[in-house]
Amino acid sequence: MEIEENERSMKYFMIFALISAALLPLLGELYVVGGFYCGVSQALVTVLLFIWTAGAGGVFGRLAAKKAMLGCAAFALSSLVLSMVGFAVIHPVIKRQTNDFSEYFDKVYTANTDYYIDWIFYWVKAVAGLGLSFLAAFVVIGIRKLTGKIAENDAKTSSAIDNAFSENDE
């Protein structure tokens, strides 16, 4: 059972980390470039980022608590490292494409300090989102434990009631 939990934890970690390697830089491009270039709301991108990370935490929360935290920690750290590698690959391509469409973008926006501040805010939000995955895992684990206690107490209560009204008084 424990080996199976370890395997599931590591499988989830690899899947989510590899998806995050591409997703986090793409969301970052939408956050920074999309807000300026094509009118994408930064709040929408932030919500999508938090939905992704909380969803990952929720999936990890279905495992045993120790395995969930192990998988969640591995996911958060590797997502951060892999997304920086993904950013190094994706960002030049996106920047080249936007410059091909309009030289105005490169001359006006990237020369402005807001461009760099937006990137800093995005990565701070990404790290906060990865921290949110731990919170989501704890919430799911807590809900599972609570529903387990309620079911256990319900079974004990119904057993006590059945025993109280049984015909066999021994």
> Nearest-CA neighbor of 24 among 83, 67, 81?
83
Residue 115 domain-assigned (yes or no): yes
Dist. CA 19–CA 27, nearest whole Å: 12
- The overall average pLDDT reported for the chain is 84
Whether residue 169 is contained in a domain is answered as no
Any idea what the Cα angle at residue 141 is, between residues 136 and 147, rounded to 5°?
A: 125
Tell me the per-residue pLDDT of 101-140, one tens digit each, with 9 for 90 and over: 776 666 666 677 777 888 899 999 999 988 888 888 888 8
Highest mean pLDDT among 28-32, 46-50, 64-68, 91-95: 46-50
Asked whether residue 170 is domain-assigned, the answer is: no
Question: Per the structure, how many domains does the chain have?
Answer: 1
Residues with Cβ within 8 Å of 143's Cβ and at least 6 positions away in sequence, in order, are none
CA distance 134 to 16: 14
φ/ψ (deg, to 5) at 112: -85, 145
Range of the domain at 64: 2-164
Residue 167, pLDDT score:
66
- Asked if 121 and 49 touch (Cβ cutoff 8 Å), the reply is no
pLDDT one-digit tens code per residue, 61-110: 888 888 888 888 888 889 989 998 988 998 888 888 877 777 666 666 66
pLDDT at position 19 is 93
65 part of a folded domain? yes
